[in-house]
Amino acid sequence: MAQAPPRRFYLLTSPRTASNLVIRILNLPNQPSLLQNTKNEYSFGPVLGWKFQHHIIGKHIDELDEVGRNELKHFYQVCFDALSIQVDAAAAQGKNIFVKEHVGWLTDPVAETKFVFGEHSTREPPWTLQTSYASTHTALNKTILPDEYLKTWLPTFLIRHPALTFPSIYRTTIDNEGQQAARDDPAHVLEMTMHWSRTLYDWYIQQEHLSQFSAENGAHWPVVLDADDVILNPQVMIRYSKIIGLDPSLLKFAWEAASSEELEQISKIERRMRSTISASTGILKEKASADLSIDTEMSKWETEFGEEEAEKLASWVRTAIPDYEYLRARRLRPL
């Protein structure tokens, strides 16, 4: 029987959704089906760094001058080209590739402007990267990637209750940038939402080609993983590992905490973003959202962040709940 062609698996996440835990459990560096010795996360991270450096996060697309536009497009393209090298290497070796990316980091700047300022706030067409594929860009595709390229990936959406993720994002912003910067951070309106995940999920479920994969292993693509299940139900991760062609016997549900030497090898911001997983030796079940009440959480936020910021967080959370519940209802469950 002919060997199946190698596949591309995209883990599409948002900040503070326990994605580092998922990666740790899957034990990617020791999975023989995957391309090894490669960068398997945040290929488009440098774009975010450039945006912060040039203070354009949350800025209207029409306010970017020609130099800024060209530089931003260049950074997106460089990041994509680097990812393509890895994808091509996996194909050449007959290996699958597994890549984690925050959905928001793939978002088209024009879509960001319309989200913040209104659907009719600009006439600019969507930005679409140059790939070896056609460059169709349909309405639900809010990314900088063309439809044809997105179709080459099998997507998994990782979600977590927004009453846990949004205050955690706010907390890390304070630690990394300071209290006042957190209050004024224009990135929050783009991050404190599940709009990007919901929209891309809805785009993917319209793609008929995924049905041929959905019949395999009892899975339905796109796959949705809820962080609560990752934390509380090992059988979900065991099932998921089989769906993406990993060896379930190699999964890790316990490990050693990161050493001081290991922590010194990463940046201050990365240390903060990985602080929970770095200090842990296994899954922390108290990180699940069981019995969570938004009103109860809001009283905690008032104490921690102040009343005004707590109200903003509560508003973002309540707005995101319908998208969260929509995706959660479609999550992967144990057999």
The pTM score is 0.92
pLDDT digits (tens, 9 = 90+) for 185-235: 889 999 999 999 999 999 999 998 887 776 566 778 999 999 999 999 999
Q: 3-state DSSP: the chain helix, strand, coil percent, rounded to 5?
A: 55, 10, 35
β-bridge pairing 8-13 and 154-159? parallel
Write out 247-308 in H/E/C secondary structure: CHHHCCCECCCCCHHHHHCCCHHHHHHCHHHHHCCECCHHHCCCCCCHHHHHHHHHHHHCHH
pLDDT digits (tens, 9 = 90+) for 27-84: 999 999 999 988 889 999 999 999 989 999 999 999 999 999 999 999 999 999 999 9
Compute the distance between CA of residue 118 and CA of residue 140 in angstroms, rounded to an integer. Answer: 16
Handedness of CA 316, 12, 285, 258 (dihedral sign): negative
Half-sphere exposure of 213 (CA within 13 A, CB side): 25
Give the residue among 260, 179, 187, 228 at the shortest CA–CA distance from 18. 228
Domains by residue range for the chain, with CATH: 8-328 (3.40.50)
Torsion of CA 167, 172, 177, 182, to 10 degrees: 0
pLDDT for the residue numbered 286: 82
**Following DSSP, what letter does each residue of 55-94 receive, concatenated?**
T-TT--GGG--HHHHHHHHHHHHHHHHHHHHHHHHHHHHT
